[in-house]
């Protein structure tokens, strides 16, 4: 049974960061719906596109940027 669950959908215009690197006290899963992104997870960067999934453990610094020429969209799930 989950103690906590949330979901949000985010759309970013080209060149836009979601936010500065930050952490959550729970795990997060980001599912790319459309576009091209780069996710900073800790000290590493990972490219993502439609259908890719980023898994982020609790308390791991992360941020995402739209590196494409079109808007990107993703679902972000938080759960504990």
Domains and CATH numbers, the chain: 5-79 (2.60.120.10)
Q: Is the pLDDT of residue 80 over 90?
A: no
Query: Dihedral sign, CA of 33, 10, 59, 26?
Result: negative
Separation between Cα atoms, residue 69 and residue 47, nearest integer Å: 14
- The pTM of the full predicted model, rounded to 2 decimals, is 0.89
Beta bridge partners of 12: 72
Separation between Cα atoms, residue 50 and residue 5, nearest integer Å: 23
Rg (CA), the chain: 12
**Which pLDDT does position 2 carry in this prediction?**
75
Q: Is the pLDDT of residue 1 over 80?
A: no
- The residue-averaged pLDDT of 60-70 equals 97
Q: What is the pLDDT of residues 13-63, one digit of tens each?
A: 999 999 999 999 999 999 999 999 999 999 999 999 999 999 999 999 999
Higher pLDDT, 30 or 2: 30
């Amino acid at each position: 049974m989950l103690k906590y669950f949330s979901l949000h959908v985010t759309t970013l215009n080209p060149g836009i960061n979601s936010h500065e690197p930050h952490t959550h006290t729970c795990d997060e899963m980001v599912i790319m719906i459309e576009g091209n992104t780069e996710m900073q997870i800790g000290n590493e960067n990972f490219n993502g596109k439609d259908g890719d999934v980023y898994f982020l453990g609790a308390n791991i610094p992360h941020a995402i940027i739209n590196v494409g020429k079109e808007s990107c969209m993703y679902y972000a799930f938080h759960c504990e």
